[in-house]
Amino acid sequence: MGEFVRLEVEAGVGTIRLDRPPVNALNYQVQAELREAAEEAADRSDVRAVILYGGEKTFAGGADIKEMAAKSYVEISKFGAELTASLTVIAELPKPTVAAITGYALGGGLELALTADRRVIGDNVKVGQPEIQLGIIPGGGGTQRLTRLIGPSKTKDLIYTGRFVKAEEALAIGLVDEVVAPDDVYAAAHKWAAQFVNGPAVALKAAKAAIDGGLDQDLRNGLKLETQLFTALWATEDQTAGMRSFIENGPGKATFEGK
């Protein structure tokens, strides 16, 4: 367990909890602890889905600007590379992930949320990539993951202006997936994550690898990747159990062991 980030596990759902008041600024230590928590969640068989959560007040207000401003070019080069590496570990976590966003998700905070498979926010939340207002651009995946999510035109608008986006617009442009009352954010995220606790873990891992891996390739190679992952599932116990249950009992009644 880190000083500012901890992994809490209950009934198959792991919560990567940021706790660095007042706004969960992502300094070097937080980034390193996020990576460690994600690696632990990936390795633990009792974790079947993961929630990213910053608490009731705010998800993450961005990078630690005071820390960044003092760095030299050589130092920021290392910092930027390690930030990208840490967020990539979270993005590639081989289990369903959801960001439960309260308060704000700005700059590096939004980039952290973009690593999740799904984003749930409170109706009073504001998100954005305001780095341009500091004379810089997003450096933790904002120009890349955001473009893949909402397209280049909308991404350019958000990054060029650095403006804050309210929940209603964020939902309309596909930046987030669900808007709920502020007090219901974690519960809504947990409800989504919990449905995978007894699911076919290997197939879920394959589905994520196929979808995300295919985005990095042309269609022909993406289809090859899909075929490889699809056929490999015939080596799993869950495939045998799932098809047997379908034949004998109909759809949706299989019991999976995640093997």
Spatial separation of the C-alpha atoms in residues 33 and 151, rounded to whole Å: 31
Catalytic residue among 131, 168, 178, 237: 131
Nearest-Å Rg of the Cα atoms of the chain is 19
Torsion of CA 128, 133, 138, 140, to 10 degrees: -80
Catalytic residue among 33, 40, 111, 169: 111
- To the query of whether residue 36 is one of the catalytic residues in this protein, the response is no
Are 205 and 213 in contact by the 8 Å Cβ rule? The answer is no
* Other CB atoms within 10 Å distance of the CB of residue 107: 28
Q: Which residues pair with 98 in a beta bridge?
A: 51, 118
Q: Which two tokens stand for residue 91?
A: 């993005």
What's 60's DSSP letter? B
- To the query of whether residue 168 is one of the catalytic residues in this protein, the response is no
Which residues are catalytically annotated?
A: 111, 131
